[in-house]
Amino acid sequence: MKKTERQYNEWLDGAMSPTDSEKYERKLGPSDHRLRHIWPEIREALRDHSKQIALAHPDFVNARVLDKIQRPPHPRHTSRISLPRLAWLGTLLLCLFAGGAVLFLPPNTPSRSAADFMSQVISARSANPEISAYSFQIPHGRGSVIWLDNPGYIPADEQVQ
């Protein structure tokens, strides 16, 4: 209840001190004074006409209300798939995947020599008998070179497409 409403009710019921009441009345209009004049009669009439509702089974209703009050609140609905569960599930699946890979994939890392990681020319032959071809390894690399002797010359003004 707001302060203004509380003050108005106190004034209406005559619960305000005479000094406060006098001050308060200055703010009010004639309709308020008329209401205060007839308020005791209204209050009596309301009291006479308001009847208590009789419940058919008051004990049962009372027990239900008390039960409702005393019952602990519903537990918060939580999802069955929580973050930690997801993480563990992911870990388990990864372990299964890794295990499966180790068991079923053929091992692709047999003992290898450095030559296995180098490109090598097995044979090279030029289609043009005037061009000879021979091969060698790139001195400090893993690549290989096919060297064509006399492979020709393209003039600078001709475009290579």
3-state SS class at 145: strand
Contact footprint for other proteins (CB under 8 A): 83-84, 87-88, 90-91, 94-95, 97-98, 101-102, 105, 108, 110, 112, 116-128, 131, 133, 135, 138-148, 151-156, 158, 160-161
Instruction: Using the structure block, give the residue that is written with the tokens 């890979």.
Output: 101
Residue 8: Cβ within 10 Å count: 19
Nearer to other proteins, 21 or 144 (CB): 144
Nearest approach, Cβ of residue 116 and other proteins (Å): 5
Nearer to other proteins, 25 or 149 (CB): 149
Nearer to other proteins, 46 or 122 (CB): 122
Nearest approach, Cβ of residue 146 and other proteins (Å): 5
Pairwise CA distance, residues 149 & 147, whole Å: 6
Give CA 96 to chain center in angstroms: 29
Backbone angles phi, psi at 136, to 5 degrees: -160, 165
Pairwise CA distance, residues 136 & 119, whole Å: 10
Nearer to other proteins, 62 or 128 (CB): 128
Nearest approach, Cβ of residue 2 and other proteins (Å): 49
